[in-house]
Structure 1
Amino acid sequence: MDAETLLFKLRDALNTHDIEAFVACFDENYYSEQPAHPARTFQGREQVRKNWASNFEEMPDFSAQLIRHAISHDTLWTEWEWQGTRRDTSKLFMRGVMIMGVEEGKITWGRLYVEPVEVSGKGIEGAVAEVMHGKKTS
């Protein structure tokens, strides 16, 4: 399976909540990391199953929009928007980038930069003051 076909299979499995089709996209020894959250690193397809089966159970209306993608050799560069309603009626709204390695029609590694969307915030000046200059703003 080529990388683009695999990507669309992954997207479709997310949107139909087909855990078997979703997990089938990953290599048995898949390696996942979230560079902004190093403690979330894991290895193995079974952890993918555990994570996403739980997500599908928690959010029956979960949806994933593939905004953009590019393929460079054996690497998928993807931008996503995820939405859903949790059982407690709170909303999930996340956006970000996932970069994934593909070998022999399976995702072998991933680097996830997907974060909750901050709908209202400090604006760009407040963010620069806090992040770049260490100044707390309200």
Structure 2
Amino acid sequence: MEWRMEGRRRDGSRMEFVGVNIFEVENGQFRSGRIYTELVRDAGGIDAQIDRMAAGST
């Protein structure tokens, strides 16, 4: 599952998280899972972050 969450910090500044959850399911029940998250940089949002990653920058 891939997800995106946007909101505001207490000081009113914008924040954006993106993440991927990977679950192991057996007989219709969750058996284990991993959650990967990243706080997207404030400057430019997710598209700018992907461009930085593709260029080899962090």
TM-score, normalisation: structure 2: 0.52
Q: Please list every run of 5 or more consecutive structure 1 residues that lacks an aligned counterpart in the other structure.
A: 1-77, 132-138
Q: CA RMSD in A?
A: 2.7
Counterpart in the other structure of 1:117: 40
Which residue of 2 is the match for residue 105 of structure 1? 28
Greater RCO (CA < 8 Å, at least 6 residues apart): 2
After superposition, the C-alpha distances for 1:54-93 in whole angstroms (9 at most, x for unaligned) are: xxxxxxxxxxxxxxxxxxxxxxxx211112234x134331
> Number of residue pairs matched?
48
Specify the alignment match of 1:15 in structure 2. Answer: none
Matched, 1:94 2:17: yes
Relative to its length, the structure with more helix (as a share) is: 1
- SS class of match (1:109): strand
Runs of 4+ in 1 over 6 A off after TM superposition: none
* 1:91 to 1:104, Cα distance in 2 relative to 1, 3 A: farther
**What is the TM-score of this pair, normalised by structure 1?**
0.27
Q: Identity across aligned pairs (percent)?
A: 33
Which runs of 5 or more residues in structure 2 are unaligned? Answer: 44-48
Q: Larger radius of gyration, structure 1 or 2?
A: 1
Question: Hey, what's the Cα distance between the residues in 2 that align with 1:111 and 1:101?
Answer: 9
